[in-house]
Structure 1
């Protein structure tokens, strides 16, 4: 395996109970790039993310991160290697304040005072709402603000790979632009990113590489630019026009 790819999946199968969801997924996430994982609903995108994180076990195949086989590792160990995962439901604790949510994610810190100030300042620049609502209960935030908090929690400690499931879902266009900007800045800071997305405009503006899933396998992989310029291909892969 070349060092060029930070994460690779080779022939990954996943069964959930009696259901065979992933049927041999091959996926490469190049270091320092933003890779988009697209596909219709039910294509297996979320299952792929959960399998990478060890939340569901691959029944066959191999997952390699940074040269290490992580296929059988428990989720906390996978996270410790430098992978952050923001699931679609965001996993925010509604009753806790924004600050307490951040503190829970900062495993090195026992109090807000121990959190890395430089890093916090950088996060506040990316997502001003996180600073603005610092002492408010997270449950009071809007959908877009919760999404920003979820990403902020994922990056409160340095991570090599950020995996986010549908960051633009249900968000207003202005917030989506803010998100796009934040992901671009994260990528510029050296973070490798894998995003599952339904919003094609979002994908088009951010993606370096793209993989399209259908029925539990990757049916197309290439550059986002090439897919964005080929309407017939979009139509056949996604059933939609960009």
Structure 2
């Protein structure tokens, strides 16, 4: 697979803090790339740097063959990055609690100004992934359960076709049944050849959906390879992550 997203030597500073220390990362087109690592390793900062929410102080971010991030004029503003086909689901989910499920999806759809202007076939496909959203279509998003809010956050990212999804810890705090639903949804997105860069702490989910994996530590990528190879090597898991996937089945 050709790379859709490439980070080369990316450093990111937030105020006085040097968070990313030369990140090299390749995300192949049409695959799910897992971004793993201990808390504080720099995973969320990597996603925010890709989206231009924080600017790289050195290095480059290239998407679909073109520069979108880096110091100075190399940095595109976040709206321009989104318009190139990248959607970002933050750990906070970023939904609007006072608006209905329907209104949240309209806000995320660039081509629709009203609910009845949403692509019906696309919406039916989203409902197939997350049936609860159809049931609670007119409910305020703030009244949804945690799992339903996460479904809405991901639905906002895919209500229109995107080239790349950046998703930050979608399973955090969710019940196992909801996590299984997310696994099914991510596998369906894979079948649709959607490219995903997924930060996750749940190793069952990582093993179930990941094609490739990059492991971060102290602001650097310290391992990159096939997710299946990492899942099969408990010694490597212990060295990179401090625990074994077998304990999280």
For the aligned pair, the TM-score class normalised by the smaller chain equals over 0.9
Give the structure 2 partner of residue 151 of structure 1.
Answer: 154
CA RMSD of aligned residues (A): 0.7
Give the structure 2 partner of residue 47 of structure 1.
Answer: 45
Aligned-residue offset at 1:210? 0.2
Aligned-residue offset at 1:186? 0.8
Aligned-residue offset at 1:107? 1.7
Choose which of 225, 235, 239 in structure 2 pairs with 1:236: 239
- Is the partner of 1:64 in helix, strand or coil? strand
- Is the partner of 2:39 in helix, strand or coil? coil
Choose which of 118, 141, 144 in structure 1 pairs with 2:144: 141
Q: List gaps (5 residues or longer) in structure 1.
A: none
- Which TM-score applies when normalising by structure 2? 0.96
- Which TM-score applies when normalising by structure 1? 0.98
Aligned-residue offset at 1:162? 0.6
Structure 2 Cα separation of the partners of residues 114 and 153 of structure 1: 15
Give the structure 1 partner of residue 22 of structure 2.
Answer: 24
Give the structure 2 partner of residue 118 of structure 1.
Answer: 121
Structure 1 Cα separation of the partners of residues 63 and 109 of structure 2: 22
Q: List gaps (5 residues or longer) in structure 2.
A: 70-74
Structure 2 Cα separation of the partners of residues 223 and 29 of structure 1: 12
1:226 aligns with 2:229: yes
Aligned-residue offset at 1:35? 0.2
Give the structure 1 partner of residue 72 of structure 2.
Answer: none
Choose which of 89, 94, 98 in structure 2 pairs with 1:95: 98
- Is the partner of 2:187 in helix, strand or coil? helix
- Is the partner of 2:53 in helix, strand or coil? coil
1:207 aligns with 2:210: yes
Give the structure 2 partner of residue 76 of structure 1.
Answer: 79
Alignment size in residue pairs: 240
Aligned-residue offset at 1:230? 0.5
Give the structure 1 partner of residue 60 of structure 2.
Answer: 62
1:171 aligns with 2:174: yes
1:33 aligns with 2:36: no
Give the structure 1 partner of residue 183 of structure 2.
Answer: 180
